[in-house]
Structure 1
Amino acid sequence: MPRPRGEYPTPASWWGERRRRENARPGPAAAPGRQRSPGRGRVDTQFARASTRRSRSITCLKEHVCLGMLNPLYRTARISLALGLCTLGLACGDDDVETTGTSETETDGTETEASTTDPTTSSSSDTTAGPGGSDSSSSDTDTTDPTTDPTDATDPTTDPTTETTDPTTDPTTDPTTDPTTDTDTDVTTDPPAVCGDGVVEGDEACDDGNDIDTDECLTTCELAACGDGFLQEGVEECDDANDIDEDECPTTCQNAVCGDGFLWEGMEECDSAGEAIDCDDDCTAVECGDANVNEAAGEECDDANDVNTDECLDTCAAASCGDGFLWDMMEQCDDGNLDPDDGCDEMCMSEFCDWDVMSLPLPVNVHPNNFYGDIAWDANCNLLVTSSFIDGLYRVSGQNGVVTKPVAAFGVNSVNGVAYRPADDLIYVSTDGPSRLYTVNNANQVAQVASWPSTVNAIALAPEGFGAYGGQIIGVSTQTNVFAYNPANQQIAIVGTGPGGGILSGLAFSADGQTLYVVNYNQGRVDAVNGAGVFTPFFSGLNSPDGIALDTDGTRMFVAHYAGGSRIDQISIPGAMLTAGPAVQLDGGYYVSGLIVDASDDVIYKTSAANMAQIASFNAP
């Protein structure tokens, strides 16, 4: 029996619906007066149905292939099914004919034997011998059977009148009702990317839908970057679209400034991204005196001047004790070292005493008679005074000018030189006749420590800078010798001997302690002696010079001599030039033998007047 219409196994598509409707239409009536031969009718019917099956198989394949093109999801499953069904010769969409049964039902309801003829062996153009032995073509086939009409298998597009399917009866039959059949997902059909539509697609790195080139996304749909020529607001200060770091806009897209590490041509001398040994932090070359302190270059200060008495030297080093420059209001002295006992201690406090000469009753009489002698400071800045040809040691108070005699006698005829040595807190005294060296302690106790090889007229403490003799007692003799007494071993050595003979009558050391100046009484000159004992003429033209002293900073030498009378003259150091005019003319004075200068440039000296040995002073600023 034929299957009911609702049980046809093919998909419920608009193609199947069409076939069902076409099969349901009645065929044309038989021609009047003509009877169908039972045998021939069966043969004709089988032949027509075979032709129809072939036509429908081809049509079926076309239909499913077409549907596959419309819907990719349909394409894969349905083409495979269509190929299988069509190959077997199944009538696509024909639910009126049993393709595998043994009988068929005609349109008039009679049952006939099913055809087993291979549809591939028949054609509408084939001829078949009838029962009478005559040939009959397929055109003679009875057309009353709709299944034998080859027009039934025609492509539906050739008969628009057959498009009667109601899409409302089967939603799958109308392609417009199935959104999955509308769009082809093949990327080759995607529309091209449009920059500026706000959608990132294709090769776009960004798309913010605007035409602004100063934000993070350019109008070319590329991300903003330094060097693209567009100034990105809030991020870049400049963008000149080049890779030059020496112009006003480096490759960092930040305005060129001092300290960015890039040398801005025409604007900067250097740029080391901060201080460097050859570049200041203001991008100028390092130069002491430019008021820019560059620690990387070793500068401790820079006050932009060449004054060496303030807190910053002209070498851009901070002023300090021992640098050889007197720091105003901070140092009392600076002899270029930190050695004590050389007139300036390690704290740059003067070891030179400073008398308030205006409050002292000067001149003050020390002892009677006009005799030679020397003077020196003691530990308390009192003035020690010796008296040639008179035994004993005198002291003048620095507080009130009172004169005392701590040592009454040394047991000799004359006391010449005197010096104080802080290292052992002893006063050293040299005598004449015999020539000896004594010490006096704080209890005024006297002890002989050495005998000089020859008479010594004056002594002094050697600073640490005087070669191998630093800290020793230096004496000058009447035989042009310079001696050194070493308290450590109580030995006497000859430092050197002056040329041309003569009597050495006085001595003084330079501020740095490296040079000893000696006065040659007979030769009327001053010689300079170094630590190796070498004599060098320094100044000549003096008349019987005796006393000698240097000021505390070592720039001036004061020399007492007798030139038409007793006088004291100044000599510049260095330069060895006699200053304009005498420092002081001592009218009526007999002789000046001892000199010393305090920290206030007060020149204190020993002279004779009215048959009395006196201590007097004058200021030499």
Structure 2
Amino acid sequence: AASCGDGFIHEGVETCDDGNDVDTDDCPATCQAAVCGDGFVYEGVEACDDGNDVNTDACLDTCEAASCGDGLVYEGVETCDDGDDVDTDDCPSTCETATCGDGFVHEGVEECDDGNDVDDDECANDCTATSSCFQGKGYLVVASTSLNQARIYEPTNLGLVDTFTGLSGPQSVAPGPDGKLYVGQNGVIRTVDLVSKQTADIGGGLVSGNLYGTTVYENKIYASGSGMPSVKVLNLDGSDAGNVASPSGTNLRSTAFGPAGDFYLSSFGGGPGQHWNPGLAYDGPFGGGGLGSAFGVTTRSTGDVIIASQNNAAYYVFAQDGTFKKSVAVACGGQIRNIAADCADTLYVGCYGANKVVVYDANDSVTGEVAITSPAGVAVLPALP
């Protein structure tokens, strides 16, 4: 009598009969053609087959093994699975429901998430920021002279966040504590409201020439540039707040404050660097290593002072006291303008002639770049308003 396994297909009873008792081929020992859900794993075709249509166990009803990211919650293993790799929603790519302390910032819910249980650092244990630099990064701000724009870039992948128009030959830029950008132009500082995008001019008659340096520190604006014998200090409304006299001529460039309150000034032709102790008590000049044509200046959290040389296509690193440490060649064909450092000591170098901003990490290795025409002003915005 006909029987399953005899190698002959019994019509109306069997759908296959390959004469063997192998359950992992296309005709298992039941003499029914292999299908997903029959309880046999079809080798090379199915990853699993548990014979049920339950999608919350280890084997889905598609005969694929359950995995994080498949959009189905594996009971007892996953607490969520939304099928994407976004780490800022309520189900990050770990397939564990977003919670404070998981190391991912839940957008709209958490201000920060550093993944530790230290409560007195820059991100508290309730995932609220205790510092504007809690992520170690800030938003890159670039002012383009030829585009008459300021642009803001996201800190992680340097994607464009927003563009602000209405500028006129911007030379420098600095974020203020009031949700505004302060943009140094020719003989005036133009403010840009980051929310409304409205602009206004301040400082007219108090500043002159191209304002190559604009720094905002403790609610004061420090403006410097060509033809100015002193750094002009303004209140945020543009009213006069005094001067910082420069002992190095009138061809001034940029300014920066160090983490301890030290003040630094670069000058293109006569310096190249000047140092004031905290409280604006003048200390003296510094330089070395062949630095000339000094332009942008910034500081790192270590206290190191970084000065860019426009014509040498390099930046120079000095200790807080002005001792020369090293120089770093920048691949931008000369014409370096302003530079800025973020809270992770990442350095952004404006390559004016090469139409890009080159990004260096804290060890002075290149990590990326942003293409933008004539980047004269470079700054870091700690957070969006």
Could you tell me the TM-score, scaled by structure 2's length? 0.55
The residue aligned with 1:484 is 233
1:577 matched to which residue of 2? 323
Q: Is the 8 A contact 2:214 2:221 kept in 1?
A: yes
SS in 2 for 1:543: coil
Task: Check 1:491–1:540 CA distance in 2 against 1; reply closer, same or farther (3 A cut).
Answer: same
Indicate the SS of the match to 1:518: strand
Q: Return the structure number with greater strand share.
A: 2
Kindly provide the amino acid, as one letter, of the partner of residue 614 in structure 1: V
Q: Determine the C-alpha separation between the residues in 1 that align with 2:207 and 2:310.
A: 29
Matched with 1:475 is: 223
Q: Give the equivalent residue in structure 1 for 2:336.
A: 592
Structure number with greater CO (CA < 8 Å, separation at least 6) is 2
2: distance between equivalents of 1:353 and 1:537?
35
Asked if 1:354 corresponds to 2:132, the answer is: no
2:175 is matched with which residue? Answer: 420
Q: Which has the larger radius of gyration?
A: 1
Contact 2:213-2:253 within 8 A present in 1 as well? yes
2:285 to 526, 538, 551: 538
> 1:121 aligns to what?
none
Aligned counterparts of 2:316 and 2:260: Cα–Cα separation in 1: 22
RMSD over aligned CA atoms reads 2.9
Shift of 1:501: 1.3
Do 1:427 and 1:439's aligned partners in 2 also have CA atoms closer than 8 Å?
yes
Aligned to 1:366: none
1:560 equivalent to 2:308? Answer yes
Quick check: 1:484–1:494 contact (8 Å CA) kept in 2?
yes
Judge conservation of contact 2:139–2:154 (CA < 8 Å) in 1. yes
| Distance in 2 of aligned mates of 1:407 and 1:547 | 22
Give 5+ residue unaligned stretches, structure 1.
1-327, 334-345, 356-380, 464-470
Classify the secondary structure of the residue corresponding to 2:294: coil
Match of 1:430 among 179, 184, 195: 184
Using the TM superposition, give the Cα deviation of residue 527 of structure 1 relative to its aligned residue in structure 2, in angstroms.
0.8
Q: Name which of structure 1's ranges 451-460 and 529-538 shifts more when overlaid on structure 2.
A: 529-538
Q: Distance in 2 between matches of 1:534 and 1:504?
A: 19
Listed as ranges, the matches of 1:14-413 within 5 Å are 330-332=120-122, 347=130, 349=131, 351=133, 354-355=136-137, 381-403=138-160, 406-410=163-167, 412=168
Q: Report how far residue 539 of structure 1 moved.
A: 0.7
Task: Tell me the CA shift for residue 572 of structure 1.
Answer: 0.9
Residue 257 of structure 2 corresponds to which residue in structure 1?
509
Partners of 2:295 and 2:336 within 8 A in 1: yes
Q: Aligned pairs, how many?
A: 237
Question: What residue in structure 1 maps to residue 213 of structure 2?
Answer: 458
1:8 maps to what in 2? none
- Counterparts in 2 of 1:477 and 1:404: CA distance versus 1, 3 Å: same
In structure 2, the partner of 1:522 is 269
1:605–1:615 Cα contact (<8 Å) kept: yes
Return the offset for 1:453.
2.7
Structure 2 stretches lacking a partner, 5+ long = 1-117, 124-128, 365-385
Q: Counterparts of 2:271 and 2:145 in 1: how far apart (Å)?
A: 21
Cα gap change, 1:562 to 1:483, in 2 (>3 Å): closer
| 1:606 corresponds to | 350
Q: Which amino acid letter does the alignment assign opposite residue 454 of structure 1?
A: S
Matched, 1:493 2:241: yes
Task: Answer whether contact 1:603 1:620 (CA < 8 A) is retained.
Answer: no
Change (3 A) 1:573 1:436: closer
8 A contact 2:346–2:361 mirrored in 1 = yes
Structure 1 Cα separation of the partners of residues 221 and 156 of structure 2: 28
Relative to structure 1, the CA distance from residue 511 to residue 591 in structure 2 (aligned partners, 3 Å threshold; closer, same or farther) is same
1:415 partner amino acid: P
Q: What is the aligned partner in structure 2 of residue 22 from structure 1?
A: none
Q: TM-score, normalised by structure 1?
A: 0.35
Q: Percent identity?
A: 17
